[in-house]
Amino acid sequence: MVAPAHEHHALIPNADRSALLLAGGRLPVVRVQEPVIRAALTALAREHGVRAPFLRVIRRAEEGEDVTTLLELDAPAEEPRGEWMPLRAVEPSSIAPVLADGVEGWLAEQSGASIPAERPPWARPGWLADACAWVADIAAVRGEPGLVRQWPLSAVYRFDMEADALYLKAVFSLFRHEPAVSAALAREHPGAVPDVVATDTARGWILTRELRGGYARGESACDGLRTAARIHRAWAERADELRSLGCHDRGLGELRAEAPKLAPLCDRLADYGIADSIVHGDLHHGNMLVRDDGVAVIDWSDAAIGQPFLDLAPVLKIGEKQRGALVDAYVEPWPGNGLREAAAIGEALGCVYQAISYRAINAAFEPDDQWLFANQHGEWMERAHRFADGLL
């Protein structure tokens, strides 16, 4: 079976952004099989001598399983292979026929067209240099930073040190509270969350120590839910403290307003007397890392104040085959009876929570990025009503 091909066309300006790099009269292009941007950057360095910070994906087109993208890079520090064409001479349909509209939009911005206010800082020229300078002031890092992931929600880079590594994460506007929340969690739950080295809350930056370990699977996913439950219990009835860290409220009233037919479930969950606490908001296997001494819960970007049992929705969607074991593991640290029913209600209402979150996230993206989660609200609401049918 042939793996899907990912074809990347790159917009690469010179230092004063007056010319565009071409290769044989076209944009530099690479084809890779790995669906990650760092694979494209490695290929651009190997095939075109381009070593430049990645900024954003401008366009993405799919044909069957094959994907074609238009990437924007910052100016390279070293002279790449190829030829420079003055921007005034660039004809988009000639240098990138399939992606010409994306090239036209980029050229307009270089000529002074307004940049969408929603575009995150890391998708703008010069951001990585500023971030590297901040990290270098804090720790003795070695070599160049390694891109882990960069998309409209966040940018994550790895910085090697002599003995271990640090990870810099920058978050977009709705998640600006993550550094403060993560630092507070790290103080109270060492080992259960990433160790925070430094934060810049104004810029939404957080620097953490490397967590070595694989993603949770099987019994380790159950351990991850036990960890999450203990954190939930520790932050019960501390809403004012969470608000001071920047968390917003996502109480049962908001869920009732979003899904009126599920209001009886909100009442039943409230009857269990489970206090509002921190809600992770994106709790699943990929946000649990297995360590020698337990499982750590990472990525608290979506943290909010609400009913903690709502966090079961994403993890049970991914862990459908071990649903019973996961539910048992989560309710184990909690006192009280009948909590499996509370978990079932929490999962259904947690789907509504996810729908609200994705709608808010998508609305905060710049228009060209709103395709990313366009279907998530409807899919989560459909799932919520499907689960609710068995509970009402």
Distance CA 337, CA 229 (A): 16
What is the pLDDT averaged over residues 307-323? Answer: 95
Give the domain 6-114 fold: Nucleoside Triphosphate Pyrophosphohydrolase (3.90.79)
Q: What percent of the chain has pLDDT over 90?
A: 91
Structure tokens at 180: 């403060």
Which tens digits make up the pLDDT trace of 275-295?
Answer: 999 999 999 999 999 988 899
Distance CA 269, CA 111 (A): 56
Level-2 CATH architecture, domain 219-389: Alpha-Beta Complex (3.90)
Provide CB contacts within 8 A for 133, sequence distance 6+: none
Which tens digits make up the pLDDT trace of 34-64?
Answer: 888 999 999 999 999 999 999 999 999 888 8
Burial class of residue 310 in the structure, from the number of CB atoms within 10 Å of its CB (0-12 exposed, 13-18 middle, 19+ buried): buried
Distances (CA, A) of 382 to 233, 306, 341, 365: 30, 21, 20, 23
Query: How many residues are recorded in the chain?
Result: 392
What is the pLDDT averaged over residues 183-205? Answer: 98
Quick one: pLDDT band at residue 296, thresholds 50, 70, 90? very high
Distance CA 387, CA 227 (A): 25
Please determine, for residue 1, whether its predicted confidence score (pLDDT) is greater than 60. no
Domain residues of the chain, as ranges? 6-114, 122-209, 219-389
In this prediction the pTM is 0.94
Note the pLDDT of residue 2. 53
Quick one: pLDDT band at residue 168, thresholds 50, 70, 90? very high
The CATH number of the domain covering residues in 122-209: 3.30.200.20
Rg (CA), the chain: 23
Q: What percent of the chain has pLDDT over 70?
A: 99
Quick one: pLDDT band at residue 3, thresholds 50, 70, 90? low
Quick one: pLDDT band at residue 132, thresholds 50, 70, 90? very high
Distance CA 242, CA 296 (A): 20
Please determine, for residue 167, whether its predicted confidence score (pLDDT) is greater than 60. yes
Distance CA 104, CA 389 (A): 49
C-alpha atoms less than 13 angstroms from C-alpha of 221 in its C-beta half-sphere = 24
Provide CB contacts within 8 A for 385, sequence distance 6+: 259, 261, 262
Quick one: pLDDT band at residue 4, thresholds 50, 70, 90? low
Please determine, for residue 383, whether its predicted confidence score (pLDDT) is greater than 90. yes
Which tens digits make up the pLDDT trace of 197-252?
Answer: 999 999 999 999 999 888 998 899 999 999 999 999 999 999 999 999 999 999 99
Structure tokens at 152: 């409209």
What is the pLDDT averaged over residues 343-356? Answer: 98
SS (H, E, C) 273-322: CCCCEEECCCCCHHHEEEECCEEEECCCCCCEEECHHHHHHHHHHHCHHH
